[in-house]
Structure formats: structure tokens, C-alpha cells
Amino acid sequence: MNRRRFLSASAGVTAAASASFPFISPCLSLGKTAVAASERVTLGFIGVGNRGRQILEGFLSLPGFQVVAVSDVIAERRTAARVKIESCYAAGRSKKQYPGIDEYNDFRDLIARDDIDAVVIATPDHWHVLHALAAIRAGKDVYLEKPLGLSLHEDWTLRDAVRRHGTVFQFGTQQRSDVKFRRACELVRNGKIGELMTVYVWSPVSRSGGSLEVAPVPAGLDYDMWLGPAPFTPYTKDRCSNRVTTDPSISGEPKVWPFITDYCLGWIAGWGVHPLDIAFWGAGEQLTGPVEIQGTGVFPNEGVCDTAVDWNIDARYTKTGMPLKFKGTPSAGSWKKRFRIPGGHGTVFEGTQGWVSVARGRIEAHPKSLLDSATGANDIYLYKSLDHAANFLDCIKSRAKTICTIDDAVTVDTFCHLSDMATQLERKLTWDPEKERFVNDPAANRMLTRSMRSPWRL
């Protein structure tokens, strides 16, 4: 805590820098910055695969911090991450100024270090909460990739730990740090579309298939540690893959584990959490209170991947009467055409005087003049972040709340879980957010927890 109090004196440095240098220099942190070593936030990265590398590159474009260690259960990945960071930092630095990066197979070795202020976690979904809990209990702040837990009980345990320890927590819903999404949400919050009537959300869906062929565990993969709390199952070809390929001989993206229920909910949560988070940010109090939810899903009948490849969710918040409709991309064709967002995801707010739709790289409205609406001194201005990683670093120093807190994360993750349960049970469910239980539904309430393989536990 002494180090954190000292760092708070330089709060604001990273935000100003990110406004001027958004992802321009891949090696800004040590090679280009004058921030003294004593004022840098020290980071450890847990999980440096496909998504972890992307996040790492974003952090490496910012001043005010230093990565000192990485952890991954795949040796090739952690070594590649270490080499990348070292090549980024080493130019023009003496060994005394820059001692190097440590790499670990076991995340607990990284967590045990008392010279690490915060960790960035981008591991498979079934590890998210356990990794975050270990870091929080060791006194470290946490940047956690989405989604949260495999069960709502995991979400609640993490929320309690963040509150108890005073942790600075950033959820990896980066769209909140994009001006288009903030603009769309402010138009809604300030009544520019009139009274909000309906919220529409759609997202990419899980893939089917995945090899059932039992195969030798690849060299360099600690498969037992990769499984961790998940049930043991023999390794099958590409089971642990989440890579993106540009190889024309490979059809599509060879992602496998993100679509297996032992490790995730599929993209009803893994991708759906992004446009849903914007729905909750823009609608505010309109999407609070008890909710009735029902839906259907389409599930694969062959291959190892078994999460929904399409879904259609209808929810209604009974306190406000607000409907929230959530579909997978295959079912959202008419919405995409109507609201001028042709891509695989989108969030739409429809009001009595028009609508606004938003997705990555695109914002649309009807009438078009809504996008030119002026904001006044008495209007609502939402939390402004120009960069998700920089916002996290600033908040570590200032001890302020991030743009996407643990409470924001639990709110949107809860809806993802409710949607998944609705597709499995195929009947109307009523959720009481105060009690965090389904009303008069023992079968649904049994789905709020998941067992973990020994010795792992919350």
C-alpha cells in the first residue's frame, strides 16, 4: 500500500499520454518514456495466448508501467511473450536499468512476487475467477478479460473479494473506452431519442465441430494445469486452441475451447458480453430490477464444440417494463438491415423519437440529425476513457474506480448466464436481483453453481 500511495502522486500521466499516443509506439513504456522506475506500475501477465498478446501490445504502447513477469501453461507462448517484451525494452537500456522478464508455468509463482502491483489476466474462461481471486488475495489489482465466471456463484465470490480488499478492477469490455459507444449511450441517457422503448442486441455465435480424435498432449503444454478446475478429459486434437489463423488451407478460425461447456458458456457470453455491456451502460436504470427471461438456442449435435450456435432471447424488466432482445447473428438479419449495422454484432436503442445503433467502427441513427445533437451543461456525461489499459493504470495510481468495475461486470455477466440458462431450460425464468435467485424455480437455482476438480476451489 505504501507503493500505491506513492504512485497516486503521479495519477493522470497515463491518461494524458494515451490521448496523445493511442497504440502508436509498440515499445513506449521503457524505451521512450521519462517516467522514473520508482513511479512505474509493475505488471504481471497471466495468459499470453491469442488475446493475451493483443492486450500486451496495447499496454506496451503506454508509459508509466513495466511488465516484469509472464505466466502461461504453454511454454512457447510464454517464451515468445518474454522475448517480445525484452526486445521492446532492451534497446538503449543498461542491465541495471532493465533486469529482464521472468516467465512461469505456474501462475502462483507470479502471484507470490511482492514486487508486482497488478496482474492482467487473459486465460481461458474457466480460469478467470480463480486467477483473479489469487491475485486479489495477494494484494494486487486486476485487469480481467471477459467474461467473468462459469457460474454466478463464481461471479459473486469475485465481487466480494474485490470489495473486501479494495482492489482496482478493470473488466475487459473495451468498447466503453471507444468514443462512438459513449456517444450512443449519452444520446440515450439524455433523451435525444425520446423515451426509450426497446433495446436490441446481437453478437457472433459459437462454432460447431471440433475434433473428437484423442491425441498426444503437445510438447510444451502443461495439460493438467490448463484443465485446472475443469473436469478431466483426454486431450483431443486442438482442444486448447484459441488461435486465429490467416492460413488459407485452414477453414475459418481454429478456435475450439471457447465453444466447449467445460471451459466456457460459448459466445453467448464470450462475445455477447460486449454489446450487452453497452446496452446496460446506455439504458441505465431502465435495465434494473427483477427480470423475466425466456429463449431458445440451437446447439451442435456433433464434434467436441457444444455451446449455442444461435439463440433468441426475450427479456423484460418488470419494474420499468423495458424489453431487452438478444439474438445470435444468424437470427438477427432483419435487425442488421433495419438498424444499418451489417456486421456480426450491434447494440440498438429504440425510442419514441428515433433510434441509435452502434458497433465497432460504426454508429448510425434515425433521424440522422440525432448524431449532431448538441450536449448541454445540464446533460448527462458518462465516464470518459480514451484507452482501456491507460484507464486501468491511472486508477491504480489514484485508487479511483475504473470505467468498467466489478459491479458493472457482474451485471452484464449475470444477463449472459440468464440467457444461457433460458436456452437450456426453454421456459420463462424470473430473476430476483436482490436475492440473486430465481423465483420458485429449484431446477434453475441449481444451475447457479458449478463443481470444480480437486484441488481447485474458490
Looking at the fold, whether 221 and 168 belong to one and the same domain comes out as no
The mean pLDDT of the chain is 90
**Residue 160 confidence (pLDDT):** 98
**Residue 35 confidence (pLDDT):** 58
The domain that holds 162 is classified in CATH as 3.40.50.720
CA distance 163 to 143: 15
Check whether 170 has a pLDDT greater than 60. Answer: yes
DSSP 168-209: -EEES-GGGGSHHHHHHHHHHHTTTTSSEEEEEEEE------
Number of domains in the chain: 2
Q: Would residue 385 count as lying in a domain?
A: no
Q: Would residue 386 count as lying in a domain?
A: no
Q: Are 432 and 448 in contact (CB under 8 A)?
A: no
Q: What is the 3-state secondary structure (H, E, C) of 25-61?
A: CCCHHHHCCCCCHHHCEEEEEECCCHHHHHHHHHHCC
Looking at the fold, whether 127 and 256 belong to one and the same domain comes out as no
Residue 137 phi/psi, 5-degree rounding, is -70, -20
Categorize the per-residue pLDDT at 99 as very low, low, confident or very high, splitting at 50, 70 and 90: low
Please report, for residues 22, 37, 87, 377, the alpha-carbon distance to residue 96 in angstroms, rounded to integers and kept in the order given: 29, 11, 16, 51
Task: Average the pLDDT over 177-195 and give the result.
Answer: 98
Cell output for 277: 455491456
Looking at the fold, whether 210 and 140 belong to one and the same domain comes out as no
Q: Would residue 217 count as lying in a domain?
A: yes
Angle at the Cα of 203 from the Cα atoms of 258 and 294, rounded to 5 degrees: 95
Looking at the fold, whether 144 and 187 belong to one and the same domain comes out as no
- Which of 127, 157, 176 finishes a domain? 176
The domain that holds 233 is classified in CATH as 3.30.360.10
The number of helix segments (H) and strand segments (E) in the chain equals 16, 15
Of 136-150, 179-193, 244-258, 443-457, least confident by mean pLDDT is: 244-258
Looking at the fold, whether 65 and 159 belong to one and the same domain comes out as yes
Looking at the fold, whether 349 and 436 belong to one and the same domain comes out as yes
Looking at the fold, whether 340 and 281 belong to one and the same domain comes out as yes
Q: Are 314 and 325 in contact (CB under 8 A)?
A: yes
Check whether 29 has a pLDDT greater than 60. Answer: no
Task: Average the pLDDT over 364-376 and give the result.
Answer: 94
Q: Would residue 390 count as lying in a domain?
A: no
Strand 65-71 with 362-366, pairing? unpaired
Categorize the per-residue pLDDT at 374 as very low, low, confident or very high, splitting at 50, 70 and 90: confident
Q: What is the dihedral of CA 337, 338, 344, 349, to 10 degrees?
A: 170
Q: Are 152 and 414 in contact (CB under 8 A)?
A: yes
Give the model confidence (pLDDT) of 415-428 as tens digits: 999 999 999 999 99
Looking at the fold, whether 214 and 226 belong to one and the same domain comes out as yes
Looking at the fold, whether 226 and 251 belong to one and the same domain comes out as yes
Looking at the fold, whether 333 and 442 belong to one and the same domain comes out as yes
Looking at the fold, whether 350 and 318 belong to one and the same domain comes out as yes
183-213 burial by CB neighbour count: b if 16+ within 10 A, else e?
Answer: bbbbbbbbebbeebbebbbbbbbbbbbbbee
Categorize the per-residue pLDDT at 28 as very low, low, confident or very high, splitting at 50, 70 and 90: low
Q: Would residue 254 count as lying in a domain?
A: yes
| Full-model pTM | 0.91
Task: Average the pLDDT over 141-148 and give the result.
Answer: 98
Residue 433 phi/psi, 5-degree rounding, is -70, -20
Q: Would residue 249 count as lying in a domain?
A: yes
Looking at the fold, whether 110 and 153 belong to one and the same domain comes out as yes
Q: Would residue 131 count as lying in a domain?
A: yes
Check whether 6 has a pLDDT greater than 50. Answer: no
Cell output for 231: 473436469
Domain that holds residue 116: 2-176
- Which of 149, 176, 203 finishes a domain? 176
Q: Cell numbers 450491434 label which residue?
A: 346
- Which of 176, 200, 218 finishes a domain? 176
Cell output for 69: 513477469
Q: Would residue 60 count as lying in a domain?
A: yes
Cell output for 74: 504453454
Of the candidates 348, 356, 273, 283, the residue with the CA atom closest to the CA atom of residue 321: 283
* Amino acid symbol at 234: P
425-449 burial by CB neighbour count: b if 16+ within 10 A, else e?
Answer: beeebbbeeeeebbeebeebeebbe
CA distance 412 to 408: 6
